[in-house]
Structure 1
Amino acid sequence: MDCPRCYALVADDHRSCAECGMSLVGSCRACDAEVQARANFCHHCGSDLRATRGGEDPRPRPIVAPPGRRTRSADGDSTENRQMTVLFCDLVDSTGLLETLGEQYWVVLSAYRDACKMVVDRYEGQVAEYVGDGVVIYFGVPIAHEDDAQRAVRAGLGILAAIRGLSPRVERDYGVSLEVRITGDTGPVVARSSGNGGAPAAYGRALILASRLKAVAQPQSLVITDDTHRLVRGYFQTRDLGPRDLGRIGRVAAVHEVMRETTARSRLDVSLAFSDLTPLMGRNLEVQMLCELWEKVRSNRSGHVVLIGGEPGIGKSRLVRMLEEHVAKEPDGWLTSCFASPYYTNSAFYPIVDLLERVVIQFRTDDGPEQKRTKLEGWLVQCGLALEEAMPLFNRLLSLPGKELDQLDADPKTVKQKTMSTLLRILLARSVEQPVLFVCEDLHWADPSTLELLDLLVQAVAQSCALVVLTFRPEFPQRWNTVGYHTQISLSRLGREPSAQIVTAAAGGRPLPPAVLEQILRRADGVPLFIEELSKMVRESGLLREVSGRFELAGALPALNIPMTLRDSLLARLDRLGGAKSIAQVAAVLGREFPYALLRTVAATDDDDLLAALSQLVDA
């Protein structure tokens, strides 16, 4: 059987878990017979043990709601079906550490736990439980992000790095070294959140799988299942460990060790890397407009700003990519692009720092501080900047050590203003030599300092030969739309014809059966990303068979599930709705169309609150 706390495999005749020490036996309060901790009824007298069991029931409560629907108990606790990525992290040879350290073990254990939590908090995960030397970490519960699997893997790599940094200090002070194993899986769980603010709990196969992978992971390694790997493919360099037998849970198709991050910054980067980018459909007017604006900037030698807005998955980056490909064909064009990141919303100038380190100066992961300083000096000389003025600013910007830092003005505001004016000078100087395309994407995640720099750039670009393209989601507040040299492009959802063209392209150029096509178009509702992912899921599901160069249904057509690749994104959007989320969940049970009166009756709320919630859902 499985331990209900840590999910370790326990022999049927064991009375406690060898991993976490939890007792696996109890007694029936009716007849005093000994029973297993996970039993629902007493084998001797038939009494219901669930009603009399002391403490929390380790199993999920019965769920009668459909996926995504929330149920609420009398004590205020709520339960719902969610997708979650879980990490298990445990110390290597913790028993040996305990024997060596004695009472000092708790000092070391506390430092290890603090190191783990600091990394998890950075990526907005949840430390769900400490089980002995193990740390159980949730991503997607209680709050979802559209990239929870990525966040989990980044956190896992971050914990490995943190332990590498902590171990020498522990070895110096206590004479022992630290190593960890980290394992992870993604899948559906039943998640329970406490009405009194307590820690959330989750139950599901993903937790068992992640726990069992500890038998596969080597010290100081991060190992994930194929389901998690499918969600993070391209963002990380991995090593295929092949299929593995995990005991009673069965054989898993593939296991992967995560080595390091790649340079991919978006879904578009990943699609380009794997050559599975579908053609852009339904955006001919927008592409033509962007290309014409670029040619106008080139010929008139006067700058322009383009603001591209749209919901997630609508095709903002894909549209920008078409412009970049056009500019790349020009012999005199110079283009550069950067991205804001949800992981660095409070890191000053992060998109610019990432651009400089990754593309412009080209720091390598194995470069030491002196190598980075040498590369930085060379680039500053190329830009025509005086090193005595520029090196202190860029050492601070790029977090490099150096005696020049002592020369900086003590006032942070002055340093910030000098940094922004220097960066602006570099970009505008380039536009004197050749036409420049500067792209900054995902500004809804941009830090305040980056937005201030863009304010200066937008003000100055009219007198330059530069096209500045900025992309963002609808929640980004209106900015820069009052200048006379800007163009606003708001991307709407696609119509039926371009949507169907994407389905065919994603199916390898062969049409799908009409019933399948209709269901994809209805569920995707004109969002290109949803169309692509649903189409790919159908191709891989076994629902179709190829006959004479076309697809036919292999059997009855069921209702299409939401692809795993989209579940985190949809859950994140739901979680951001606040009180309107419960109305969305009720409406989902009623169907795509329903009378307002029926929703009001089922939701059991007054008209003012219901109309406000519906308005919020429409805006979302």
Structure 2
Amino acid sequence: MQIPDWLEKLGLGQYARHFAENDVDLEILRDLTDQDLEKIGVTSLGHRRKLLRAIAELREEVERSVPPAAAAAAAPIWPDQVDSAERRHVTVMFADLVGSTALSARMDPEDLREVISAYQKCVAATVNPFDGFVAKYMGDGVLCYFGWPRAHEDDAERAVRTALAVAKAVAALKTPGGEPLAARVGIATGLVVVGDLVGEGAAQEEAVVGETPNIAARLQGLASPGQVVVAETTRQLLGDNFELADLGRQHLKGIPDPTSAFAVLGERAVESRFEARASDAVSGMVGRDHELALILERWSQAKAGEGQLMLVSGEAGIGKSRLSRSVVDSIARESHLRIKYQCSPYYTDTPLFPVIRHLILSAGITPEDSNDDKLDKLEATLVNGKSDVALIATMIGLQCETRYGQLNLTPQQQRARTLQALVAELIAQSREKSVLFVLEDAHWIDPTTLEFIDLSLDQVVGSRVLILVTARPTFQHGFGGHPIVTRLTLNRLGREPITALVGDLTGGKPLPAALLDEIVAKTDGMPLFVEELTKMLLESGELKETAVAYELTGELSHLDIPASLNASLMARLDRLQPVKEVAQTAACIGREFHYSLLKAVSPLDDAGLQSALERLISAELIFARGRPPEARYV
């Protein structure tokens, strides 16, 4: 079998060229991750999920074809995710069909079976786009995991978004007699052991052990029909992304201590992910004075009519959004217009999602507004006259034929005219005021919005516009090598700015030098890690005790990774299949380990082990000192 044949069999033959251009053969195919698929051009989340499942099946076929003796002697091709249990920080969602017992009393069993089946399929179809995992069907209940078998940095948020979508989707279902259905959902987050296979045949499932699933199930029992209830552990990870109602501390059956519960009222309209996460006071920016000065220099050029684009690149947690916020604060007193586009991992396939979201927020459009009110608000927001209002109104989903008449354009013409209208609006705005155009998280940008940015560059050249783009290193778009583009890569912080950041977070209270050394060492110069580890110490109320214990033992080994970082770090590891097992083995040795000791306990040969370590180094999860066999790693 060849790759094109395999893709055609899956109904995804359109990607054959992408695989060929990246030299992916059947041997390489088994190593592909979700990130790899996205890099080679599989932008659809649904298609990537379908491919990953097929790759997993292919792996199982290969493993079944290897004789047991040969399999035992050979080094593992990749770690077996399904058959080995792991300690994971997982968000568990439990969805229940309301009133199923009453339905069973008055419905024919075959009709009830169809209702339950439709409900289960509805939940599964809703979970899949958010990359959740349906672990178990329990009659009218569905148990789902977010964070296993694949972690994401925002699993708690994914679970809540899924739950709200489940409640809405199930409400659209009806029984054969026309009765509407409703679901209620409970969500909790915590440390579990997950992945053990229990049962046999069709009853086989991936079991999860820990308190978290029980809490999720009990919280579901508190919810009203159509309602989502989350635990305090989940709420802490949501920032200000959702409107929540405090239900107080609840005594849950089988749970010894009272549990704080919160009802999710809906998604909150926030300008950016950074603002949503920074629900408390934002600490000051440190260690980025030169970078800030460079961006402000480009801003001065833009104000003088020499439009600019600044691309700020760096890994998650390095401080891109904090730097962007500092630019906004630095020019706050100047007369200017600020445009904010926030890209989202949930809408990478939704054309112009950040554009539409910005227009709705800036116009103050609410779901309660009538269509005419929405059009009035949009007209008041746009500055380029009414000639393009119909195109932009249609783009954001408003009915405008009565007011503006039919567009009478083909889909291709309408798309092109809409992009031109957006560019014209940006330039018209810059004639009235200088424009700071911030585009956050461009690594999640949809292709149409990216095309709009590319189209605008020629017009921006002679306009008072600074486009400030933030992105992770995976974003490799070059904006056509346009001369107005400046690239800025953020590096990790040194000891002095880390010390300043810790001082800012502790309110100026000095920490013992040894404890500060440990924070510097454990956080590897990542501002987000510094913040979260320091905040965890402060919030625990054990800062003084921790300092004393460190003075006595010289260790901070009892400190857990902050929950806010656990998913992010695990997501990075999960993207590194099949070398994650090497990182786990090394972690058992300690924070620092020698190559010779790792080799002694690893099933890999020299070539395989060194290749795995090189991938971990490239991902900046470990750092090397020296070369094998004398190498030491941190």
Is the shorter-chain TM-score for this pair beyond 0.5, marking a shared fold?
A: yes
Partner residue of 1:296 out of 301, 305, 320: 301
Contact 1:511 1:551 in 2 (8 A): no
The one-letter amino acid of 1:413's match is Q
Contact 2:244 2:266 in 1 (8 A): yes
Task: Tell me the CA shift for residue 617 of structure 1.
Answer: 1.6
Q: Which residue number in structure 2 is paired with residue 124 of structure 1? A: 131
Task: Tell me which moved more, 403-412 or 487-496.
Answer: 403-412
Residues 390, 480 of structure 1: alpha-carbon distance in 2 compared, 3 angstrom cutoff = same
Is 1:93 paired with 2:92? no
Q: Which residue number in structure 2 is paired with residue 281 of structure 1? A: 286
**Structure with a larger share of its residues in helix:** 2
Contact 2:238 2:277 in 1 (8 A): no
Unaligned residue ranges in structure 1 (runs of 5+) = 1-70
Q: Which residue number in structure 2 is paired with residue 312 of structure 1? A: 316
Q: Which residue number in structure 2 is paired with residue 413 of structure 1? A: 412
For 1:505 and 1:481, the matched residues in 2 are separated by: 41
Is 1:243 paired with 2:243? no
Residue aligned with 2:148, SS? coil
Q: Which residue number in structure 2 is paired with residue 363 of structure 1? A: 365
Q: Which residue number in structure 2 is paired with residue 111 of structure 1? A: 118
User: CA-to-partner distance for each residue in 1:426-477, whole Å, 9 max, x for gaps?
Assistant: 0011112221111111011111111111111223321211111111001111
Partner residue of 1:342 out of 321, 333, 345: 345
Is 1:79 paired with 2:85? yes
Task: Tell me the CA shift for residue 374 of structure 1.
Answer: 3.5
For 1:492 and 1:327, the matched residues in 2 are separated by: 24
Task: Tell me the CA shift for residue 572 of structure 1.
Answer: 0.7
For 1:149 and 1:419, the matched residues in 2 are separated by: 36
For 1:190 and 1:373, the matched residues in 2 are separated by: 52
For 1:590 and 1:254, the matched residues in 2 are separated by: 38
Is 1:252 paired with 2:258? yes
For 2:618 and 2:408, the matched residues in 1 are separated by: 47
Residues 294, 124 of structure 1: alpha-carbon distance in 2 compared, 3 angstrom cutoff = same
Q: Which residue number in structure 1 is paired with residue 26 of structure 2? A: none
Q: Which residue number in structure 2 is paired with residue 162 of structure 1? A: 169
Q: Which residue number in structure 2 is paired with residue 189 of structure 1? A: 192
Residue aligned with 1:365, SS? coil
For 2:205 and 2:435, the matched residues in 1 are separated by: 51
For 2:405 and 2:88, the matched residues in 1 are separated by: 51
Q: Which residue number in structure 1 is paired with residue 65 of structure 2? A: none
**Paired residue total:** 534
Is 1:210 paired with 2:216? yes
Instruction: Select the structure of larger CA radius of gyration.
Output: 1
Contact 2:313 2:489 in 1 (8 A): yes
Contact 1:335 1:436 in 2 (8 A): yes
For 2:583 and 2:272, the matched residues in 1 are separated by: 29
User: CA-to-partner distance for each residue in 1:286-332, whole Å, 9 max, x for gaps?
Assistant: 11111121112213x1111111000000000110111112222102x
Task: Tell me which moved more, 347-356 or 585-594.
Answer: 585-594
Task: Tell me the CA shift for residue 410 of structure 1.
Answer: 6.0
Partner residue of 2:177 out of 169, 174, 178: 174
User: CA-to-partner distance for each residue in 1:129-160, whole Å, 9 max, x for gaps?
Assistant: 11010111111111111000001011111112
The one-letter amino acid of 2:352's match is F
Task: Tell me the CA shift for residue 481 of structure 1.
Answer: 7.1
Q: Which residue number in structure 2 is paired with residue 397 of structure 1? A: 395
Residues 164, 371 of structure 1: alpha-carbon distance in 2 compared, 3 angstrom cutoff = farther
For 1:163 and 1:594, the matched residues in 2 are separated by: 52
For 1:182 and 1:451, the matched residues in 2 are separated by: 37
Residues 264, 513 of structure 1: alpha-carbon distance in 2 compared, 3 angstrom cutoff = farther
Contact 1:142 1:193 in 2 (8 A): no
Partner residue of 1:373 out of 375, 381, 393: 375
TM-score (normalised: structure 2): 0.79
Contact 1:314 1:491 in 2 (8 A): yes
Partner residue of 1:226 out of 224, 232, 256: 232
Residues 193, 578 of structure 1: alpha-carbon distance in 2 compared, 3 angstrom cutoff = farther
For 1:613 and 1:194, the matched residues in 2 are separated by: 27
Q: Which residue number in structure 2 is paired with residue 49 of structure 1? A: none
Is 1:327 paired with 2:305? no
User: CA-to-partner distance for each residue in 1:549-569, whole Å, 9 max, x for gaps?
Assistant: x98669976412101111111
TM-score (normalised: structure 1): 0.81
Contact 1:243 1:252 in 2 (8 A): yes
Identity across the alignment (%):
38
Q: Which residue number in structure 2 is paired with residue 52 of structure 1? A: none
Task: Tell me which moved more, 463-472 or 405-414.
Answer: 405-414
Give the 5 Å matches for 1:502-581: 502-545=501-544, 558-559=556-557, 560-581=559-580
For 2:417 and 2:562, the matched residues in 1 are separated by: 48
Residue aligned with 1:249, SS? coil
Residue aligned with 2:285, SS? coil
For 1:154 and 1:568, the matched residues in 2 are separated by: 17
